[in-house]
Structure 1
Amino acid sequence: MGRKKVTTYQKLKVLTLLQAGFSYENIRNQLGVSNGCISNISKKDKLKLPLENRPGQGRKKLTTFKEDRYLLNLMKKDRRKSSRQLASDWNSSHEKSISARTKSFVRRLSSESDKPFNFQPRIQGGGGSISVRGIMTAKGGGPLVFYDGRMNGPTYISIIELVLLPFIEKNFDRDVTYWPAVSPDFNVIENLWDIIDNKLNNYRLNNVNDLQQAILEIWTQISNETCETLVRSMPRRIKKCFCVKGNTSAKY
């Protein structure tokens, strides 16, 4: 019997648990992967190599990352526009010509809800996407979790059980109050997503592997002082929330 293929999603789970300080034995028992697989993932992480296997050759990507960002800004101005209208706006200001099917991206912005930071670029050989959930405290950033596809129930539970709960148990010893329903969302981690989003403009990204590595690099460069400043801003944000009576259109 041949070796069971380990998916990229499983590899990301392994990497997340490694970064959270779990032992090989613990990871092996939780995820059902071999010590050799865990070791290879650890080596790739230390060498800053992509976890995914090298993709096959395909049609070359037409647009650059900065041009992708320009398309995203076009969408932000009027989200009711169809792909055909966006392509027309692009073609009127660029020498390159694209069709309504050339570019695929997520129309919901990460800052609009408590959904994860996400980006969906067009890559060689077809479309691809990457979504990220992270943890932060006043002492700095915690583990990052990369996953493919939509955040469904099993995926969410897996992240909570494998990453969030162990992180909380390891770093905190206090009771957490309940978050009231329909509360204004001013989670400070959204500011970290904005930092990552802005710094990605300085990277040349050709595929999902490049994107993942860039996010990891930026995340590790975020200082503890930045996180502490954001957490210490919460009293001011809460006061502002009370002053505007929870108006969700207000800036916190």
Structure 2
Amino acid sequence: MGRVKVSLEKKTEIKALVEAGFTQRDIAEKLGVSKTCVFGVAKKLKRNLPLSNLPGQGRKKASTAIDDRNLLRLCKKDRTKSSQLLSSELVLSNGKRLSAQTIRRRLVDMGYKSYTAKRKPYRKPSQRKQRLSFARQHQYWMKEWNNIIWSDEAHFEVQGGGGSVSVWGCMSGGVRGPLVMYSGNVNGPAYIKIIEEALPMFIENTFDPTNKEWAFMQDNAPPHKSAYSMKWFKDNNINIFKWPATSPDLNPIENIWDHIDKELQKMKPTNVTQLQEMIQDIWLGVTPMYCQKLVNSMPNRIKQCIKSRGGTFNKY
């Protein structure tokens, strides 16, 4: 992983905490920097060296201006090429090659952004048929979608390693629901433990007791469909909305996971604690208007599903 430049202001903060007796681990977690960075500042303090880098310090660029122009030419020729493929094709003037990570950095410096192509789930003909049947059955639904509680799980990681967080969340038309963080493998009992307090409370606070039209949407993951889970839903009078397999593109809450992921890439958490706090903050920033906008996209998602005959679609 490339070295991240740390500002003189940040180094001054590290210095103050080192002199105050904090451990290097505590300082790293508190300020969101690596332990290597803290060690470097502490080493300079011990040797009475200035915190700022001396002129000429730092690793020299592996590529020349000509190499960078050649990289730009290759990128413009085919913008779908991955950094790994560009790495294998670009030979530097010194006969060496750049790593895929360095190539991504160079392209960012040139004003380019990297994107990861979304993987399209494989669907059996029977699953496509099921999706098409579901879409046709609900093609005239409009306001009815507001009675569905949309739920899903997601997994987020600290970039470059350092831990991960799993979450379950739900929403409805114009209402952001609860977000529950959890860890470990999930089976039927573990799944119910995650939702057993949050879901009933959300239902009680969202729907009028006279409303008998609402239903709870979940995908067909084994823990969701286990005998243990289904008994709990029945005992708690929670209506399950029948959902077609392999259909994340039909679930509007998926857009919220994408939104959280993009925001985390900007915020760059360095440990699990920061990751948890940032996920919670982003989730709380999801507005009722945005939730309603996502639910309002359902008629078009259904239309696109019918148009693709139960296949994959991207725009809704």
2:166 corresponds to which of 126, 131, 135 = 131
Counterpart check, 1:171 vs 2:206: yes
User: Residues 206 and 89 of structure 1: is their aligned pair in 2 closer, same or farther, counting only changes over 3 Å?
Assistant: same
Identity of aligned residues (%): 37
Q: Hey, what's the Cα distance between the residues in 2 that align with 1:213 and 1:178?
A: 32
Letter in 1 for 2:278: A
Shift of 1:195: 1.0
Shift of 1:204: 3.6
1:116 corresponds to which of 150, 153, 161 = 153
Counterpart check, 1:210 vs 2:210: no
8 Å Cα contact 1:135/1:142 also seen in 2: yes
Look up the match of 1:154.
189
Counterpart check, 1:184 vs 2:184: no
2:261 corresponds to which of 183, 197, 214 = 197
Q: Hey, what's the Cα distance between the residues in 1 that align with 2:265 and 2:176?
A: 21
8 Å Cα contact 1:122/1:207 also seen in 2: no
Shift of 1:136: 1.0
Shift of 1:201: 2.3
Q: Hey, what's the Cα distance between the residues in 1 that align with 2:284 and 2:181?
A: 15
Look up the match of 1:227.
291
2:301 corresponds to which of 237, 242, 247 = 237
Letter in 2 for 1:131: S
TM-score (norm 1): 0.53
8 Å Cα contact 1:138/1:231 also seen in 2: yes
Letter in 1 for 2:301: R
Q: Hey, what's the Cα distance between the residues in 1 that align with 2:121 and 2:251?
A: 11
Q: Hey, what's the Cα distance between the residues in 2 that align with 1:182 and 1:153?
A: 18
Shift of 1:145: 0.4
SS at match of 1:245: coil
Letter in 1 for 2:158: P
Deviations 1:50-94 (A, max 9, x none): xxxx9966994679xxxxxxxxxxxxx69xxxxxxxxx6336767
SS at match of 2:197: helix
User: Residues 110 and 188 of structure 1: is their aligned pair in 2 closer, same or farther, counting only changes over 3 Å?
Assistant: farther
Q: Hey, what's the Cα distance between the residues in 2 that align with 1:159 and 1:62?
A: 37
Q: Hey, what's the Cα distance between the residues in 1 that align with 2:121 and 2:285?
A: 25
8 Å Cα contact 2:153/2:167 also seen in 1: yes
Counterpart check, 1:90 vs 2:101: yes
Letter in 2 for 1:233: S
User: Residues 251 and 149 of structure 1: is their aligned pair in 2 closer, same or farther, counting only changes over 3 Å?
Assistant: farther
Equivalent residues, number: 166
Look up the match of 1:81.
none
8 Å Cα contact 1:120/1:129 also seen in 2: yes
Look up the match of 1:143.
178
Q: Hey, what's the Cα distance between the residues in 1 that align with 2:262 and 2:272?
A: 17
User: Residues 115 and 153 of structure 1: is their aligned pair in 2 closer, same or farther, counting only changes over 3 Å?
Assistant: same
Letter in 2 for 1:226: Y
Q: Hey, what's the Cα distance between the residues in 2 that align with 1:228 and 1:55?
A: 46
8 Å Cα contact 1:110/1:116 also seen in 2: no
Q: Hey, what's the Cα distance between the residues in 1 that align with 2:121 and 2:277?
A: 25
Which deviates further from its counterpart, 179-188 or 236-245?
179-188
User: Residues 170 and 112 of structure 1: is their aligned pair in 2 closer, same or farther, counting only changes over 3 Å?
Assistant: farther
Q: Hey, what's the Cα distance between the residues in 2 that align with 1:140 and 1:111?
A: 29
8 Å Cα contact 2:182/2:194 also seen in 1: no
User: Residues 218 and 240 of structure 1: is their aligned pair in 2 closer, same or farther, counting only changes over 3 Å?
Assistant: same
Q: Can you give the 5+ residue segments of structure 1 that lack an aligned partner in the other structure?
A: 1-53, 64-76, 79-87, 96-108
Which deviates further from its counterpart, 179-188 or 195-204?
179-188
Shift of 1:122: 6.7
